[in-house]
Structure 1
Amino acid sequence: MRRVLTQIGIGIGVTSAAFAGLSAWSAYLTISSPEKVEARSLPAHLVEGDSDRGEKLLEVALAADRSALTEAFQWQEKLSWCGVASAVTVLNAGGRSLSQNSFFTEAVREVRPWVATTFAGMPLEDLGEMLVAHQADVTVRHASTATVDDFRAVLRANASNAEDFLIVNYDRQVVGQEGGGHISPVAAYSEEHDKLLLLDTARYKYPPHWLPVSMMFEAMDTIDSESDRSRGWAEVVVEPKPSVSAAEEG
């Protein structure tokens, strides 16, 4: 009888493990299929970048980074990889040649493992450290430690300078979109209209769009549940990649 009970226990354990494995695999397949997500319409208070109105906003905007970012842009290959896509887009705009998979170097995985990033995304601090692992110079700022005017000053300086890039971490719901925490690069700033142009890494869901600076700041001034800190932004300067000597390669 004891042997039978033991075998039953083993069977239940194996079955539970199998179900857990199937559940994880099912979740991974869902995460890895962003193309299956239905496209959404932008809320009326946001302006599509490629629309006539969006083009007019661009005409009077500061947009030093836009061309490089647009050329290097990658949409996120997994539903949770908005931070990965943003980082790769910025690094490549600065002269690198990375895929979203090759972004996960050993140094990057020490900051945040591939599994954690894939199943839970990343908080702002980890994004900054992962970029540093790719020899970028990064300044991370949490919205709770700043004002909207501080953010406007950063936008003005960044959008006037082709040598640096800006990534924002914000809550989609605050800007009237479906979803939660999200990360994307900023491509332009219209000081006259007080709007910024966002290159949404979830391109399958929302196109590039303009939104009010005050609304973005409010969306950044929300709490990330993992870090228990507010979201915010990262200013990124992509340093030239260190050359590797023949001795080091050997």
Structure 2
Amino acid sequence: MALCIGLGVALTAMLPLGPTALAQPGDTIPLPEPQGQTLLMQSVDRADYGPLAEQFLTQANPAYCGVASMVMVLNSLAVPAPPAPGYGRYRFWTQENVFESAATRAVLSAEQVARRGMTLQDLRALLASRGLQARAIHGDRLSQAQFRLLLRSNLSQSGDRLLVNYDRKSLGQAGGGHISPVAAYHAASDRVLILDVARYRYPSVWVPLADLWQAIRSTDSSSGLSRGVVVVRRI
């Protein structure tokens, strides 16, 4: 499952906020750095970047990476939302009101997610409970070429989204299972931009596609299945 806690809060507080401290499997490049910005500007497959960046948010607690990612997807696809408490007549999805429907709570409650995180199939089912078309693909079912094709197809059009459930260690980061949206692909360097929802810990970062492919093929000890991706679109 994706707990998003990694090695624990105490160790997290001691680590630098960027990925450079532990990054080794591939040459990760934080988006805020000039080179990261250059990769974004050169990317052809970046249709999802604008809508997702506009709705970017930090996960509300260490286990809510999947929830924050789901809320970003719902808002960026303009899925009709309930009122947001404290904002009067304005309606948008939050990490609280996303659990208001009985259909969503039937999949997982907010308390369950806060306690144990979620698996790839949990993420798919939660998105589907909000009326989205969601397809989970386990990483061990994808060749590297198939993963690249899936990324490029998804990121070249703005009507769908792609969430990745991956093992941080495969990217040279501290921690375990994590979930975040991907926003762009840079063909010349074969890198993928992850908008990391744990931004108190790591910035959005460009990672080698080969490393991310390995990271989604890792086994989730909770389900006994590989991690993977969820492809999302409005019905």
Query: Is TM-score (shorter-chain normalized) higher than 0.5?
Result: yes
TM range (shorter): 0.7 to 0.9
Q: Which runs of 4+ in 1 moved over 3 A?
A: 35-39
Contact 1:38 1:204 in 2 (8 A): no
Once the two structures are TM-superposed, the CA of residue 37 in structure 1 deviates from its matched residue by 7.8
Residue identity over aligned pairs, in percent, reads 37
Partner SS for 1:229: coil
Is residue 2:134 matched to residue 1:138? Answer: yes
Amino acid at match of 2:39: L
Partner of 2:175: 179
Could you give the per-residue CA deviations for residues 219-241 of structure 1, whole angstroms, max 9, x where no partner exists? 110111111100000010034xx
Q: Alignment partner for residue 54 of structure 1, among 5, 21, 36? A: 36
| Separation (CA, whole Å) in 2 of partners of 1:151 and 1:38 | 31
Q: Which has the higher helix share?
A: 1
Q: 1:119-166: per-residue Cα shift (whole Å, max 9, x none)?
A: 110000010000000001111100111111111001110110000000
CA contact (8 A) 2:17 2:203 kept: no
1:88 to 65, 71, 89: 71
Paired amino acid for 2:52? L
2:191 maps to 195
- Counterpart CA distance in 2 for 1:140 and 1:70 is 23
Structure 2 segments unaligned to the other structure (5+ residues) = 1-7, 80-91
User: How far does the alpha carbon of each residue in 1:60-114 deviate from its partner, in whole angstroms, 9 at most, with x for none?
Assistant: 2111010100001111001000000000001100013200011113211111122
1:115 Cα deviation (Å)? 2.0
Task: Note the residue ranges of structure 1 that are not aligned, 5 or more in a row.
Answer: 1-29, 240-250
Match of 2:48 in 1: 65
Q: Does 2:19 match 1:42?
A: yes
Alpha-carbon distance in structure 1 between the residues aligned to 2:59 and 2:67: 7
Match of 2:219 in 1: 223
- Give the letter for the 2:38 counterpart: K
How far, CA to CA, are the matches of 1:118 and 1:167 in structure 2? 19
Which residue matches 2:208? 212
Q: CA RMSD in A?
A: 1.8
Query: Among 96, 102, 111, which residue is 1:101 paired with?
Result: 96
Which residue of structure 2 aligns with residue 76 of structure 1?
59
